[in-house]
């Protein structure tokens, strides 16, 4: 897995797992790879994956069954969407809208661009 420098690795791994849940690759109540399996697969330290799993557990995205491993929470998808929506609205949206204003993109143009994107 290629990592970016601007975000902690454990958060990038959490985003990847979130993407897999949103796409249906990981399903509600489905098993998540063990810490060691995932660490070997993406070539990171097992402690980094453990930190990722702890982060995801705190957010209600995965849970552990003693002796069996980690599983996707039944409401993981909803939790991920809510969290990402909040992040977008709180941080990234302000910057994005400022850039639209700076380059003169009108609301009508933005609506058309977004409609075209959805119809791909």
62-71 pLDDT, tens digit each: 999 999 999 9
Query: Model-level pTM?
Result: 0.81
User: Burial of 83 by CB count in 10 Å (0-12 exposed, 13-18 middle, 19+ buried)?
Assistant: middle
Answer yes or no: is pLDDT of 26 > 90: yes
Query: What's residue 63's pLDDT?
Result: 98
Its sign, for the CA torsion 81, 26, 13, 53, is positive
What are 86-106's pLDDT values in tens digits? 988 888 888 899 999 999 999
- The length of the chain in residues reads 120
Reduce the secondary structure of the chain to three states and give it as a string: CCCCCCCCHHHHHHHHHHHHHHHCCCCCCCEECCHHHHHHHHCCCHHHHHHHHHHHHHCCCEEEECCCEEEECCCHHHHHHHHHHHHHHHHHHHHHHHHHHHHCCCHHHHHHHHHHHHCC
């Amino acid at each position: 897995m290629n990592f970016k420098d601007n975000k902690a690795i454990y958060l990038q791994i959490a985003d990847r797992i979130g993407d897999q849940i949103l796409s249906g690759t990981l399903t509600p109540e489905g098993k998540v790879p063990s810490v060691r399996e995932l660490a070997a697969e993406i070539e990171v330290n097992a402690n980094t994956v453990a930190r990722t799993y702890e982060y995801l557990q705190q957010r209600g995205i995965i849970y552990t069954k003693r002796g069996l491993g980690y599983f996707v929470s039944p409401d993981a998808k909803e939790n991920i969407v809510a969290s990402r929506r909040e992040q977008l609205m709180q941080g990234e949206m302000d910057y994005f809208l400022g850039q639209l204003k700076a380059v003169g993109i009108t609301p009508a143009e933005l609506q058309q661009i977004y409609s075209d994107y959805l119809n791909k």
